Amino acid sequence: MKPRFAATSWSEDETPKIAEPAPFPPGLARAEGALDIRFRRRGDLTVLDHLYQQGCAKARFPKREAGAFSTAVTLNTSGGLTDGDRIATSIEWGAGTAATVASQAAERAYRAMGPVPARLSTRLTVGAGARAEWLPQETILFDGAALQRDLEVAVAGDAVFTGLEQVVFGRTARGEVVRGGQFRDAWRIRRDGRLLYADVFALSGDMQETLAARATGQGMVATASIVHVAPGAGDRLGEVRNALGHFALWGASADDDMLIIRLLAETGAHLRPMVLAALAPLRDGRPVPRVWQI
């Protein structure tokens, strides 16, 4: 499958750099951040090997809970995203490591004041025999927001990767409807250097009208995608379908080494239990990251 988008890439030994944003009128501050995390194995433990943080992109490392992987929690200290913001994240799981990366809270994408979207560029590298989880919380898209997300993943052939991205269109608790703006979410996953998965989801203009169509969102405004890459990943398909059986709008498919799950819900609050149910068979009973429970 030929990808239909251009993704940001970095050399193996280079800390992620922030692209130069387009000029904005004087007085309009724009957030910039770069985060580089590397895990390595020390005996039976996964420990932090390298941390670089710049600007609004930060990470915290809570004490590991019983039965859980080592955990890193990312946060955006700017308080949200608006047009022209740039955050680049690079995370590497060394050989034999096991770690979960989650976000501190839901991200918010505010109404744009200019033509240049906020951009989140994320690169994940999963080494031989590693077990990696990328589990950020949802992004809430305000009416008029402009956001572009690019996720690149490189997975070793015997490694396990579970990735999640989720978005809620509008502040559903206050009845907000997203009538304008733009959103693009692009994934590209390689396994042993071979392109395994490429997907682009893009909306612009009246997103509420687009999502109302039967062939798109059936009126739902909260959505999530989960991709699980592992040797024998397809063997988990039956468990996932059983876990989601009592929910209404979802789909799950698999081949030998990849399982893909799509979820739709009325609100972010309705989406959360669906996400947890879908993840449970893939996580072997490990506790949900503590920040998800706050």
Q: Confirm whether 31 is domain-assigned.
A: no
Percent of the chain with pLDDT over 90: 78
Q: Confirm whether 26 is domain-assigned.
A: no
Q: Confirm whether 9 is domain-assigned.
A: no
Dihedral of alpha carbons 279, 217, 146, 198, sign: positive
Closest CA to 173 of 269, 273, 248: 269
Q: Confirm whether 43 is domain-assigned.
A: yes
Confidence of residue 175 (pLDDT cuts 50, 70, 90): confident
Please state, rounded to an integer, the average pLDDT across all residues of the chain.
89
Contact 222, 138 (CB under 8 A): yes
Global confidence as pTM: 0.89
Domain carrying residue 54: 37-293
Give the mean model confidence (pLDDT) for residues 265-270: 94
For residue range 126-172, list pLDDT tens digits in order.
999 999 999 999 999 999 999 999 999 999 999 999 999 999 999 98
DSSP notation for 8-70 = ----TT----PPPPPP--TT----EEEEEEEEEEETTEEEEEEEEEEETEEEE-PPPPTTPPE
Which of the given ranges, 19-23, 62-66, 127-131, 219-223, has the highest pLDDT on average? 127-131
Q: Confirm whether 162 is domain-assigned.
A: yes
State how far the Cα of 129 lies from the Cα of 246, in Å rounded to an integer: 34
- What pLDDT score was predicted for residue 293? 79
Task: Report the range of poorest mean pLDDT among 98-107, 170-179, 197-206.
Answer: 170-179
Please list, residue by residue across 235-263, b when 16 or more beta carbons sit within 10 angstroms of its beta carbon and e when fewer do.
ebbeebbebbeebebbebebeebbbbbeb
Q: Confirm whether 255 is domain-assigned.
A: yes
The tokens describing 267, both together, are 């609100």
Q: Confirm whether 234 is domain-assigned.
A: yes
Q: Confirm whether 164 is domain-assigned.
A: yes
Give the count of domains, the chain: 1
DSSP notation for 209-261 = HHHHSTTTTTT--EEEEEEEESTTGGGGHHHHHHHHTTSSSEEEEE-SSEEEE
Largest interatomic CA distance in the chain: 56
State how far the Cα of 196 lies from the Cα of 254, in Å rounded to an integer: 12
Q: Tell whether the model's pLDDT for residue 1 goes beyond 50.
A: no
Contact 90, 10 (CB under 8 A): yes
